[in-house]
């Protein structure tokens, strides 16, 4: 009996961990958003963004298990609309990050206000504390409005096992792996922030904002080409 349990757990881990790690480090809007948020706003903000992404993944997995995800899979119009919405969301998030000159990360703006570095860090920390829900919702929206994330889970869920218990364990490990990897990324990105100057952080923020906006444009083009 114990041997069967150990064998099942090993089987689950061998099946789930590679999938979780591949999804965790695949370059995309969620990946860059976690890195950018953690560098510019600190570990806590990056953590809550990652939590929002994880909640959206869990939501999609539940829909797939209930068979409701097939509505998206078989409806090209819905995928097209979702892709346009998702692309627009990414463009808005990236564009705001790119063109927001009054960001509290902008050393020039803060110099004009004659704020010291310690004061700037305090402002950022206070905003992070007050905007946990905002970052959770941002992570959720970025992920759930991407039709290709839906398609990804629709292809993964049916292939995680024939027995419900095994399938549930595999999916749980995949989701836990993705969340853990996002938290680790956020932690180390937050550490990098401490050795970077405010000016470097500001320009990293802008570069990643540009990348996210480009990903949004690419998403819209891609859904028009495919659907």
Tens digit of each residue's pLDDT (9 = 90 or more) over 10-33: 777 788 888 888 888 887 888 888
- Please state the pTM of the whole predicted model: 0.77
Q: Looking at the predicted structure, is the pLDDT value of residue 106 above 60?
A: no
Contact of 181 with 21, CB cutoff 8 Å? yes
Both structure tokens of 176 = 């836990």
Q: What's the mean pLDDT in 116-122? A: 51
Both structure tokens of 60 = 């999609």
Summarised one tens digit per residue, pLDDT across range 127-154 is: 545 578 889 999 999 888 888 888 888 8
Q: Where are the domains of the chain?
A: 63-226
Contact of 227 with 83, CB cutoff 8 Å? yes
- CA 53 → CA 21, 127, 200, distances in Å? 15, 20, 27
14 vs 36: CA distance, rounded Å: 31
Q: Looking at the predicted structure, is the pLDDT value of residue 201 above 80?
A: no
Contact of 81 with 177, CB cutoff 8 Å? no
58 vs 83: CA distance, rounded Å: 20
C-alpha torsion sign, points 72, 75, 81, 86? positive
Question: What's the chain's average pLDDT?
Answer: 78
């Amino acid at each position: 009996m114990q041997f069967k349990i150990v064998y099942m757990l090993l089987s689950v881990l061998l099946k789930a961990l590679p999938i979780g790690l591949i999804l965790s480090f695949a370059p995309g809007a969620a990946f860059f958003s976690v890195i950018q948020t953690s560098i510019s706003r600190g570990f806590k903000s990056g953590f809550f963004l990652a939590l929002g992404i994880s909640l959206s993944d869990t939501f999609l997995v539940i829909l797939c298990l209930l068979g409701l995800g097939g509505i998206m899979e078989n409806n090209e119009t819905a995928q097209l609309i979702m892709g346009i919405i998702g692309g627009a969301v990414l463009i808005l998030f990236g564009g705001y990050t790119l063109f927001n000159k009054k960001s509290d990360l902008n050393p020039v703006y803060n110099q004009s206000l004659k704020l010291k570095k310690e004061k700037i860090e305090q402002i950022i920390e206070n905003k992070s504390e007050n905007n946990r829900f905002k970052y959770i919702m941002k992570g959720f929206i970025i992920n759930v409005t991407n039709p290709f994330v839906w398609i990804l889970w629709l292809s993964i869920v049916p292939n995680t096992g024939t027995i419900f218990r095994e399938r549930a364990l595999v999916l749980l490990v995949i989701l836990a792996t993705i969340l853990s990897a996002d938290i680790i990324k956020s932690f180390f990105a937050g550490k990098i922030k401490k050795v970077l100057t405010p000016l470097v952080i500001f320009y990293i923020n802008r570069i990643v904002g540009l990348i996210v906006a480009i990903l949004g444009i690419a998403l819209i083009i891609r859904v028009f080409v495919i659907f």
